[in-house]
Structures are given as C-alpha cells and as structure tokens.
Structure 1
C-alpha cells in the first residue's frame, strides 16, 4: 500500500470544489496521511478574536486537495475510508458570525433586527481524557464534552464543469457537516470528472446535529484516509447522493433548500439503495424505509441544508454492500 503524506501550505489551500488543479496524483489502494486547517484558517485563537475582524471572506473553510485518482472516470464510485481523525491542535474555536446561523436573521431570511453580538469561544483539548472543554463566556461554568472528531467537508469536483464554494453541500458532497463523517466511516461518492478530484477539510472536534449557531468546535485535523475506486459497471454508475457506511448503519446525505427537499433527496436515494441490496420493488423499499429509518439533521445553516437518512444494519438481512469494500478497508485500516 502506498502511504502518501501531505500537508498543504496556505498558498496550496483549495477554496472550491472544481476549478482547482490537483496537488497530487494517487492510485486506488493508497493511504493518505493529511493535515487540514480549521475553517477559520487558525485565525481565532482567543476569545478576543472576533470573526468580522479576523476572517478574510470568502477565504474560509480551506480544503486539503484536490487529489487526482488514477483511473477514475465519470460514473465510477470513489471510496474513501476514514481510518483515523486526530486533532492537530490543543484547542478548537467556535464563533457567532454576523447574520450566520440557524437562530438569527440571515442574508436569505432578512429582518430589521441587528445581528447577534459577536462572540468567540475557545475549547481546550484534553487528549488523555478525550474531551474538549466548554467554558461559558458570561460565567464560570465549565463542561468537559466528549471529543468526537469529524470532517465537515468531503467532496469531489462537481459535474458539468461547475465550481462550487467550499461552504456548499450538494450531490458532489462538500460542506455536509454531518457528525456521521467520523473515523470508521466509509464514504461513497459519484465521480463526475476524470480523476475525481476530491478534497477534505473543515475538521470539527465535536458538533451537535444541525450545527445550530453555524460553527462547530472548529479545529485543524490529522486524517488518515484509505482510497479505493469502484468502476461504474460494478457500482451501478455511482450514487446520486453521498452514501456512508459504518459498522452499524448505511446512510445517505441529501442537501438542498428548503429543508424538506434535503430530506426527500436522501430518502429517495435510500429507497433505491434498499431496493438494490434486497431485491425489492420501489414501493416495498419505501414501506420498509418508513419503518426503520433514522433521520438526524446534519446542518441547517449552510448554503444548502443537509439531512442524513440512516438505515440500521441490525434490522436488515445481511447484504454485501459494494462487494464488501467497507469490511475490507476496516481490516486494512487496522493493519495500518
């Protein structure tokens, strides 16, 4: 197995999905050891650092990549297994940003009210206890919260020559902000352009479902990712929406506005996935999904909202998903 280490310099950050030349060419079967900066580019380091003065919009959410996967063609399925995610700093940051978040007026939901006051929180990481500490800004309450690293953004170049900002989630993946994107998960993405051109970033040390205020505990991340490729005749032409597989669930992430359309996108693809795996017609799959699906919100703050449809494996007959690639990559990750 080729093991490729890559840490971008700031001039190598990608700010979009699509429209960026690859930083490396890799072969399927490779392992990547990557560093990615946080969404704030490391500029929020203390509670005195406020977003409006510290951030250089639109240069936020820097991506590490893109990586050109040799042999990847439109209609194939890119497979990324998140073998390990480890905080790369001893602190993470979260912030209230003017007119951004789920519980404030925004540029799309315009009101006459002023923005919420800006504020920054710094979370100290205790690697031994595996916690990040919430510290109230207006009092002395401290709560150690479990460290649950995830990647907010995982995506490929979009189809039709589109270039999309790194803040956007859509069918190509992108800024989905789902806590399901954690170590042990395998991600399936449809390849839209030659080489796939995938990037990752936006490390979160933890995040609640929905990402209510618009920012998680944002932090730089060390990621170990195994890469594979399923050709179109094997994977059925690639999934319409990003799919994830863990030891316990099959999941689909739909992204759109309004929120119910994000839910519908994931539900429809999950119906199709159930039908493929278990030889069901569409209506039988629809009925089964209606009785077993779990539907956590991923984000309700981004350019598109993201909703996850989860199917518990324990309630389904055993099926070989994509030829058993998740189990195989779990074994390879353990060897690493």
Structure 2
C-alpha cells in the first residue's frame, strides 16, 4: 500500500450525484489514501421539519444523492476495491424519517397493487445527542418518546456498473448502490468489484440508525462527515458486494423477490468461505447452513437486499480475506470528529 494522503471533499448542491456511472470524477485517490467526505441525506437536506413533506419539497429523480464519484488510481476491471469505513459522524443535531404514499414494505406499491388508499405522508424529526450517543423518537400524535442507540451507517455506496450503464442511486445491485444494511458502519471494510477504469466510487444516504429491512422505506436520515480509506486489490474479482468486520464476513445479494437475493448472498458466501478455508463446497454449504445469519438490508427499493453473514471463528483454519486488507486499512485509519451544522 502506498503512503497515506488525506483528501477532503464537500460537494456543493449542484455537485451531488444521482447515478452510479455516467459522471466525471470529482477527485482522484490512490491506494492508501484517506477520504474525508461530506454526504447529504436522502432528501438533499430539504426535509427539515414536520411541514416539509417530501412530495412537496423534493423532486424526482433528485432523491438519494451521493458524493463523488472518486477515481481510484490503478483500479481496473477485474480488480476489487476495498473501502474501509473509519468513522461516520452525524453532520447535524437532527435526522428525519417519513412515510410515503405507495412506498414501504407495509403499503401497496406500483408493483404490489391493491385497492386500499395509500398511507398518509408524514415526517418524524429525531433529535441526535452525540454526547449521549442516542437518537430520540418522538411520536407525532401522542407524547410517547424513547431514546434509541445512535448507530450511524452509510446506506448507499458503490462503484460504476459494468457495460457503460448508469444506475439510479436508489437501486442496489452487483455494483453496490442502495444496500441499506446497518453493517455498513464504522469499522467495516466493503469489497466492491471494479467494472470500469478508476472504479468511480461514490457514497451517501447516511442513517443515524435503521432497523433490519428498513420497513417504512426510510431510516433516520442524516447528513454525515464520513472518513474512509481505500485500497485496490489487483487481479481479484468480487462478483457481489462483500463486507468484513473484525469478527464477521458477509456477502450481499440484491434482487426481487427476496428469496433470490437470499440465494445470491448465500451462494457467494459459500464460495468465499470455501476459498478462505479450503473446504469442499458441500462441506462449506453445510457449515454455512448451521452457522450463518441473514440480516435483511431493505425490502423497499427497486431491488431488495439481504446479507449472508458468518463469524470467522466459526470457519476452520480461515485465511485472512483478500490478503488481510481489512486489518491493514484499519491500522491506517484515523478518527476525526464531525463538524456540526
């Protein structure tokens, strides 16, 4: 890994991106570089209170913006881009969530059409106490409230798709995108298969927290100050997004219906675990069947996302993934404080 440089990037509003692919890079990074980047929330900062209904203050397709893309020197098709998330700090003292007509897991949609009226549109504002590390839920129709643990995550991260495609940032697929998994937190390394020269990494859609599945389709949406480190793993392909923490490896599958996403994730995890342990495929399949977990990322986006995750201590003689890049990037990480806004 080359020597570490730090690049800081804060996009102006007209510099936010709404697709993966189809855009020129905003900056160049090299393996080992640290990126400190400001990301906007999924509403572009336009929803700030209960009266700011997204249907009135936002406009399609200008939802779910990402910062970038960033050109990674030396990244070529067939390589893997490793992205270690060092820190995710809320950039404001509040976050927002909402319900939308015809959007979310528990309402009719354009693809699941029913005759009952759509759910009302409503906005919830969550106070964020960074010192106490809490997120405060306040009911809108009663005085019920509760403090939930602050658990910042990045909802959307990915690279340019293959074959010259430009994909809307709300879509999760093999290139990454709107994965919406709480495992995309500080301390996690994300592995993305490179499809174009320079990879063209972009990220955004921070959440102060989110339940598995993101049932209403909206987490506690926040702007963030995020710090990450990148490294190019040469000549090693990665077919679907993979994640690694100090204790766990996970594969992401994105598709509809949800069982196809489940199959993608588990097929990839079986192949990955077999490679790391040297076990026979069927032996690995059997072990994963008994030891793995399947946390759901989202069941609301154009594709659904689910993970297949297993603790590495459950894998016999497990070699370091990607030659130990997670450990290297973690050691090189820094932990800056977020800036209030």
Query: Do both proteins adopt the same fold according to a TM-score greater than 0.5, normalized to the shorter chain?
Result: yes
Question: Among residues 142, 146, 150, which one is paired with 1:147 in the alignment?
Answer: 150
- Indicate the residue corresponding to 1:302 in structure 2: 301
- Indicate the residue corresponding to 2:169 in structure 1: 166
Can you list the C-alpha shifts for 1:35-79, whole angstroms capped at 9, x where unaligned? Answer: 010001111111111121111111000000000001110000000
Tell me how far 1:334 sits from its aligned partner: 5.1
Contact 2:86 2:335 in 1 (8 A): no
| Distance of 2:335 and 2:36 partners within structure 1 | 15
Question: Among residues 85, 88, 102, which one is paired with 1:85 in the alignment?
Answer: 88
Tell me how far 1:329 sits from its aligned partner: 1.2
| Distance of 1:246 and 1:296 partners within structure 2 | 15
**Is 1:277–2:276 an aligned residue pair?**
yes
1:69-148 → structure 2 map (5 Å cutoff): 69-148=72-151
- Indicate the residue corresponding to 2:332 in structure 1: 332
Number of residues paired by the alignment? 332
| Distance of 2:78 and 2:214 partners within structure 1 | 32
| Distance of 2:24 and 2:333 partners within structure 1 | 28
- Indicate the residue corresponding to 1:201 in structure 2: 204
| Distance of 1:150 and 1:335 partners within structure 2 | 15
Can you list the C-alpha shifts for 1:199-238, whole angstroms capped at 9, x where unaligned? Answer: 0000000000000000000000110000100001xx3xx1
- Which piece of structure 1 moves more, 318-327 or 193-202? 318-327
- Indicate the residue corresponding to 1:289 in structure 2: 288
Question: Among residues 208, 218, 221, which one is paired with 1:218 in the alignment?
Answer: 221
Tell me how far 1:314 sits from its aligned partner: 2.2
CA RMSD of aligned residues (A): 1.0
Tell me how far 1:313 sits from its aligned partner: 1.5
**Is 1:239–2:242 an aligned residue pair?**
no
| Distance of 2:55 and 2:9 partners within structure 1 | 31
Question: Among residues 173, 183, 188, which one is paired with 1:180 in the alignment?
Answer: 183
Tell me how far 1:101 sits from its aligned partner: 0.2
Runs of 5+ in structure 2 lacking a partner? 337-341
| Distance of 1:94 and 1:42 partners within structure 2 | 12
| Distance of 2:257 and 2:335 partners within structure 1 | 43
Contact 2:34 2:333 in 1 (8 A): no
- Indicate the residue corresponding to 1:16 in structure 2: 19
Tell me how far 1:281 sits from its aligned partner: 2.0
- Indicate the residue corresponding to 2:36 in structure 1: 33
| Distance of 1:21 and 1:171 partners within structure 2 | 21
Can you list the C-alpha shifts for 1:88-119, whole angstroms capped at 9, x where unaligned? Answer: 01000000111100000001111122210111
Q: What TM-score does the superposition give when structure 1 sets the normalisation length?
A: 0.97
- Indicate the residue corresponding to 2:339 in structure 1: none
Runs of 5+ in structure 1 lacking a partner? none
What is the SS of the residue equivalent to 1:290? Answer: helix
| Distance of 1:100 and 1:216 partners within structure 2 | 13
